[in-house]
Structure 1
Amino acid sequence: MDVSMDGPSTSTAASSSAPPSHTHYSAPLDEVFYTSYPVVQDVPVGQPIEDWKYEMRREAQLILPNLYLGPFQTSKQFDVLKSFGVTHIVCIRDKQEAFLVKPRFPEHFVYLTLDISDHEDQNLIRIFPQTRNFIDDAIAHGGTVFVHCNGGISLGPSVVVGYVMAKRQTTYEEALKWVQSRRYCISPNQGFMYQLKEYEPIYRATLSAEAAALAASSNPTPSPATNSTRRKRAGDEDSDEDEDPSANGNAMMSDDPEPTNGGAEWSHKPERRMQRVDQR
């Protein structure tokens, strides 16, 4: 898999191309609203498209706030991309399509280009973390992302379904219904469908691991070396407290004479006094 952030520089002559006469938006550009669609509750997105028309497959649709999905035709329409507020583009293509499906305006948008095949044996799961991080980072910085492949039917939708699964913590069936309600023409190949089903326990385990790591970083556990140092310091303090403070004081205040025997060791033996006890 060949992954690059920027594609080859191309002419921007396409920027002057006018948008199509009929561009269908899932929601007005200046507003998004809460929908009662039952798959994911209370997500501010455009309402599901009930009256789908064939020509809409050549246009982009809003899937989640700041996340569009569509075909490569939209990737060539500079004015349309700017009207969507797009700042980042995920360009997914087969290597054989590189001459056609490619970054068109690298000087205006940040691209993530993924060379993968629309085959059932193509490993799709391994690119999910990369696309998720790219989309999350873009949206976190106030950007809007457009995901596209060639026709916007299998590759691009599969990546977006995987993103919706992890972002909204839903099953692959629910995420697929959610995306398809916005872009009715999507049809991931059978191999991608199996992988999306397998991805569900993977992303849930990943989220659990991330939560555990975050909890551990906020409440760090002292290392064995730190515990040993603390126990040693506590033991030293206990030894200091147990020592008789009067011993040093008596030694310092002693009036015993200095040794005068030419350097020989001097020792003092206390005088013993005997008392007579009268026994009657």
Structure 2
Amino acid sequence: MRKLRRDPPPVQELEALLESHKGGTHHVDEVIPNLYLGDIVIAKDKKKLKKMGITHILNAAHASWECTEDGIDYGPDVQYYGITAEDCPEFNMSVYFRQGAKFIHKALNTPNGKILVHCVLGKSRSATLVLAYLMIYQGFSLVDAIRYVTERRCISPNRGFLQQLQQLEMDLHFTFWRCAML
């Protein structure tokens, strides 16, 4: 009997993959053209954001206790989307995967669109949303998405987020195979 979907590797293997790619951490890194992954420091620097040409901001730590820039007025030229997410394994980030990915996709398909996805450190919550985007809209497997992003930025989604991304991968494979069988 043929296996219709490939299960993602265990969380321990994903964590080992993340550990094997420990590069430097910057305030912001370009993941794919016009998609930037960063921290709260870059999110507060309106001059730098303007110089970079950022037109959209996805804040994965909106209104959380560690995020104090929520009151920043980015002006009429920047579209802002805030997700109130906690960086703990028990937090259900998966409910934001498709909404976040859709916002990123919309930004990248806007003429001259550039998006900053950030949280506090730019390593867990925001990285999880970028990984989900790559899986949903770019067709990456979870492992390939992790490899791709870690070549550009040091990230470390928590164990709960990795498990939710595993489930996303299984859901995406199921949907693909179901559509292929029709």
Deviations 1:114-138 (A, max 9, x none): 0011111111111111011111112
Secondary structure of 1:96's counterpart equals: coil
Which structure has the bigger radius of gyration?
1
Provide TM-score, normalisation by structure 1. Answer: 0.52
CA contact (8 A) 2:89 2:159 kept: yes
Unaligned runs of 5+ in 1: 1-49, 213-280
* Partner residue of 1:145 out of 97, 115, 124: 115
Structure 1 segment 2-41 matched on structure 2, within 5 A: none
Which residue identity is paired with 1:173? Answer: V
Aligned to 1:83: 51
Deviations 1:154-202 (A, max 9, x none): 1111111111112221221110111111002x11111111111111022
What's the offset of the Cα at 1:62? 0.4
Deviations 1:62-120 (A, max 9, x none): 0011100010100111222122221000011162234x142523324110000011111
Quick one: percent identity of the two aligned structures? 29
* Partner residue of 1:109 out of 62, 78, 96: 78
Which residue identity is paired with 2:142? Answer: Y
CA contact (8 A) 2:105 2:137 kept: no
Secondary structure of 1:111's counterpart equals: strand
CA RMSD of aligned residues (A): 2.5
In structure 2, how many angstroms separate the alpha carbons of the residues matched to 1:182 and 1:204? Answer: 26
What's the offset of the Cα at 1:208? 6.9
**Which region of structure 1 is more displaced relative to structure 2, 63-72 or 196-205?**
196-205
Aligned to 1:122: 91
* Partner residue of 1:69 out of 16, 27, 37: 37
In structure 2, how many angstroms separate the alpha carbons of the residues matched to 1:180 and 1:202? Answer: 23
CA contact (8 A) 2:29 2:38 kept: yes
Q: Does 1:181 align with 2:157?
A: no
CA contact (8 A) 1:91 1:101 kept: no
What's the offset of the Cα at 1:139? 1.5
CA contact (8 A) 2:38 2:122 kept: yes
Aligned to 1:194: 163
- Larger RCO (alpha carbons 8 Å, 6+ apart): 2
> For the structure 1 residues 161 and 138, does the alpha-carbon distance in structure 2 shift closer, same or farther, using more than 3 Å as the test?
same
Residue correspondences, number: 158
Which residue identity is paired with 1:67? Answer: L
Unaligned runs of 5+ in 2: 1-20
Which residue identity is paired with 1:178? Answer: Y
> For the structure 1 residues 64 and 120, does the alpha-carbon distance in structure 2 shift closer, same or farther, using more than 3 Å as the test?
same
> For the structure 1 residues 51 and 154, does the alpha-carbon distance in structure 2 shift closer, same or farther, using more than 3 Å as the test?
closer
In structure 2, how many angstroms separate the alpha carbons of the residues matched to 1:202 and 1:169? Answer: 13
Q: Does 1:136 align with 2:105?
A: yes
Structure 1 segment 226-241 matched on structure 2, within 5 A: none
Secondary structure of 1:183's counterpart equals: coil
Provide TM-score, normalisation by structure 2. Answer: 0.77
CA contact (8 A) 1:88 1:111 kept: yes
